[in-house]
Structure 1
Amino acid sequence: MRTAGRRGGSRTARGVRVIALALAGAGLVGVTAPTAGALGTGPHRGGVDARALDEALEGVIETGGASSSLARVTEYGRTAWKGAEGVGDFSTGAEPSANGRFRIASVTKTFVATVVLQLVGEGRFGLDDSVESLLPGAVPGGAAITVRQLLNHTSGLFDYTDDPAVQVDTETWLREGRWRSWTPRQLLALANGHPPHFPPGTGWRYANTNYVLAGMIVERVTGHDWRREVERRIIDRLGLTGTSLPVHATAIRGPHAHTYLDLPGGPVDVTEMEPSEMDAAGVGISTSADLAAFLRALLGGRLLPAPLLAEMLTVAPASGAGQYGLGIGRLTTPCGEAWGNNGSTGHGHNSAVYATLDGRRLVALSTNGYRDTGQGWNTTQKLLATAFCGRQPATAAPTG
């Protein structure tokens, strides 16, 4: 393990495919919906407890069953603690690095939503403009679906990742699905082959389809691929040197921990995968430092003017415990509210980044799930609670 100020030995991974801060829909590609409101309430408390954070991170491995996990906690933009636990490479026994890169899955949505809101601020279109007006014929009933409803998941559209062409068994995914290339139009066609779950604006249901459409809107309005706009407007502007948005590249470039599936025949390395299936819903790769810099800049008003940031932080009433705004979610910890996002590829890659609105405390983490002990979410809750409270809570909060 590596942490700020101390180093210990690596540990053999025991336990679970951690569900990356998401209880509902585990296994969806691109990501699952954030779970908020599960950690209790109370005022934010003082300093970082490095020993408690070390123990909480160890728990994600020892009790939660992840093969590796890394995390970073910042105070007003400065790293107060960082750590990494587990095994980064089963073939060599190498330790993971706290500075390593990882797939961020649906945290990508926060980047995309930020660019969409920037375009709204530039007068290119409005949040309440229809999908039909921006992407004629893209989806049935698009005249009744607004950009806002895409970003906050109230469109009612079917999630293409639930289609049998994507939602395949593990053996089929390893053999075929893992390497299959997709275009946004193909993904959209899968969703359009199913009826909507409800009329637009009358309910809430997480759907990666919404963000494939958001990426297509960015391209239609700017004339550039959505990746280029995210790079120009956010990644390059903030100097996020560890962040990338691959199109078809299967590998993670730079230092990173490997991800494994625990199968009857032994562990299978699934670090490499064709990312196009996730598109604007979740192709991103980043580091804990970059995610921390991005979220701090976003919540600090450096990327959006105050009125649009307020729109972003307005949660959809129908999102219930998810408390989802426009590409960002509200998490309630034992020490107060935090804002951010989390993601899971559904194949072991899990990530999250959350911060207090005042910028005082921020935590970014990545967990490579492995064995299912049933304690993955509980151990991740403890890590989050420890990061925001400066100590581990005396008892675990209920998971609902």
Structure 2
Amino acid sequence: MKSKRCVAPVLAALIGIAAWSPAQAMGEPSPPKALPAEIHNLVNADGVPGIAVVTSDDGQKTRETAAGLADIPANRPMRPDNQFRIASITKTFVATVVLQLVTEHRLTLDQPIAGLLPEPVPNAEQITVRELLNHTSGLADYSDNPGFNPGATYTPTQLIALGVEQSPYFPPGTGFRYSSTNYTVLGEIVHQVTGRAIHDEVQTRLIAPLHLSGTTFPTETVVAPRQARGYVFDAPLPPRSGPALDVTTRTSASAAGAAAAMVSTGDDVDRFLGALLSGGLFAQELITEMQRPTPGADAFYAAAGVPGISYGLGLMIAPTPCGTAYGSLGDIDGYTSSVMQVGRRQVALFMNTNSLQASLRQETLSIAVQELCRAG
């Protein structure tokens, strides 16, 4: 959660997406081969500290594997059930809670947010719930504020204030710009509508009923029992440059908040996405809304150097050789995460570093896409 400037490599690294060009990096579906060989190459040749991958088909786990280290000084091997900070995948959980409230007729997608939260927000009479979900509100990202300190402790009100101190990017509904302020505001709306904090609603509505035993929504900066340590390097990988710097807690949980604070495992995130896209959490008509590309999103990502990506309501959308993928991607100090579904096949791929050259980001997502597209 650092400043997100309109420079393509920085943007790709920090807004919760990876430098992923479907047209160039995904390639054609590959014949079946050993996924462990591919991920061991990321560790042995490219210098990634550790990686964990979980694949499922029609809700049944088909493969889980890991390579490298979860803790470099302790020489602790990475395991498929290790926990990671999942960064912007948090947004998909938050969007799901918001859409459940829509299902319960406690919110509507196209209602203005004026009166829904105590904090002052510019253009609140024009900004709708939908525009927060799909990043067309125009609200500036709080992490772009020069006064933002990712290691400090914040309340949601303080994060929103950091965002609205800056001029809006554009009038509501007239453009697309990814902004974590949108999801901080959504978290506060959930609080006002339900009387419970967003992390409590995610726990009650999603974590508990889906039995996501490795998933937490921390409000204080702690390290989960099975969490892989997160690392950065002097220069993006490959090759390794300088020692591995442990940044597991460099971004505080409260600074990430409703936009990026959650911790989870590959298996849990895989189960959540499967439940969401199969219709287990709300009606198909709202899933269709989530999957509808937002006008302007593809141009925004193309300008950032990641053509082919679009965005719906809390979901990333991208073509693959075997169909349209829906899912979520995350990037925070020391961690890179992705979970995607094509048809009923899913793959979650987590790494304990976000020090990656654009080409290596493309390679890791290409591995995930090929795993999605190869037979059983």
TM norm. shorter chain > 0.5 = yes
AA in 1 matched with 2:228: A
Are residue 165 (structure 1) and residue 165 (structure 2) matched? no
Superposed CA deviations along residues 36-75 of structure 1, whole A, max 9, x for unmatched, are 762479999798x351x22321233244432111111111
Find the counterpart in structure 2 of residue 58 from structure 1: 40
2: CA distance, partners of 1:158 / 1:277: 15
Q: Structure 1 189/204 Cα, relative in aligned 2: closer, same or farther at 3 Å?
A: same
Give the drift of 1:312. 1.3
Find the counterpart in structure 2 of residue 314 from structure 1: 292
Q: Structure 1 138/59 Cα, relative in aligned 2: closer, same or farther at 3 Å?
A: farther
Q: Structure 1 85/378 Cα, relative in aligned 2: closer, same or farther at 3 Å?
A: same
Are residue 212 (structure 1) and residue 184 (structure 2) matched? yes
Q: Which has the higher contact order (CA 8 A, sep 6+)?
A: 1
Superposed CA deviations along residues 166-194 of structure 1, whole A, max 9, x for unmatched, are 3x6xxxxxxxx43x111111111111111
2: CA distance, partners of 1:41 / 1:27: 17
Superposed CA deviations along residues 169-225 of structure 1, whole A, max 9, x for unmatched, are xxxxxxxx43x1111111111111110111111110100000000000000000000
Find the counterpart in structure 2 of residue 257 from structure 1: 228
Q: Is the deviation greater in 279-288 or in 80-89?
A: 80-89
AA in 1 matched with 2:38: A
Superposed counterparts of 1:131-280, under 5 Å:
131-135=113-117, 138-166=120-148, 177-178=150-151, 180-251=152-223, 253-263=224-234, 266-273=243-250, 274-280=252-258
AA in 2 matched with 1:272: T
Q: Structure 1 373/209 Cα, relative in aligned 2: closer, same or farther at 3 Å?
A: closer
Superposed counterparts of 1:1-400, under 5 Å:
25-28=11-14, 31-33=15-17, 38-39=22-23, 49-51=32-34, 53-135=35-117, 138-166=120-148, 177-178=150-151, 180-251=152-223, 253-263=224-234, 266-273=243-250, 274-320=252-298, 321-345=308-332, 347-356=333-342, 358-359=343-344, 361-369=345-353, 372-390=356-374
Give the drift of 1:316. 0.5
Secondary structure in 2 matching 1:123:
coil
AA in 1 matched with 2:346: L
Alpha carbons 2:29, 2:321 under 8 Å: kept: no
Superposed CA deviations along residues 117-144 of structure 1, whole A, max 9, x for unmatched, are 1101111121011111312553111111
2: CA distance, partners of 1:117 / 1:36: 28
Find the counterpart in structure 2 of residue 15 from structure 1: none
AA in 2 matched with 1:369: T
Give the drift of 1:24. 6.1
CA RMSD, Structure 1 to Structure 2 (Å): 2.5
Q: Structure 1 378/63 Cα, relative in aligned 2: closer, same or farther at 3 Å?
A: farther
Alpha carbons 2:270, 2:348 under 8 Å: kept: yes
Q: Structure 1 372/115 Cα, relative in aligned 2: closer, same or farther at 3 Å?
A: closer
2: CA distance, partners of 1:50 / 1:72: 15
Superposed CA deviations along residues 2-28 of structure 1, whole A, max 9, x for unmatched, are xxxxxxxxxxxxxxxxxxxx9661453
Alpha carbons 1:363, 1:384 under 8 Å: kept: yes
Q: Structure 1 56/41 Cα, relative in aligned 2: closer, same or farther at 3 Å?
A: closer
Secondary structure in 1 matching 2:76:
coil
Superposed CA deviations along residues 290-325 of structure 1, whole A, max 9, x for unmatched, are 111100000000001111111111120211143101
1: CA distance, partners of 2:158 / 2:104: 30
Same amino acid, percent of matched pairs: 37
Alpha carbons 1:63, 1:376 under 8 Å: kept: no
1: CA distance, partners of 2:10 / 2:212: 30
2: CA distance, partners of 1:80 / 1:236: 24
Give the drift of 1:341. 0.3
2: CA distance, partners of 1:23 / 1:110: 23
1: CA distance, partners of 2:42 / 2:211: 30
AA in 2 matched with 1:380: T
Give the drift of 1:249. 3.1
Alpha carbons 1:70, 1:365 under 8 Å: kept: yes
Could you tell me which runs of 5 or more consecutive residues in structure 1 were left unpaired when the two chains were aligned: 1-21, 169-176, 392-400
Give the drift of 1:272. 2.6
Could you tell me which runs of 5 or more consecutive residues in structure 2 were left unpaired when the two chains were aligned: 1-7, 235-240, 299-307
Secondary structure in 2 matching 1:238:
coil
Q: TM-score, normalised by structure 1?
A: 0.82
1: CA distance, partners of 2:219 / 2:355: 29
Alpha carbons 1:36, 1:332 under 8 Å: kept: no
Q: Structure 1 258/349 Cα, relative in aligned 2: closer, same or farther at 3 Å?
A: same
Superposed CA deviations along residues 71-103 of structure 1, whole A, max 9, x for unmatched, are 111111122111111222211222101111111
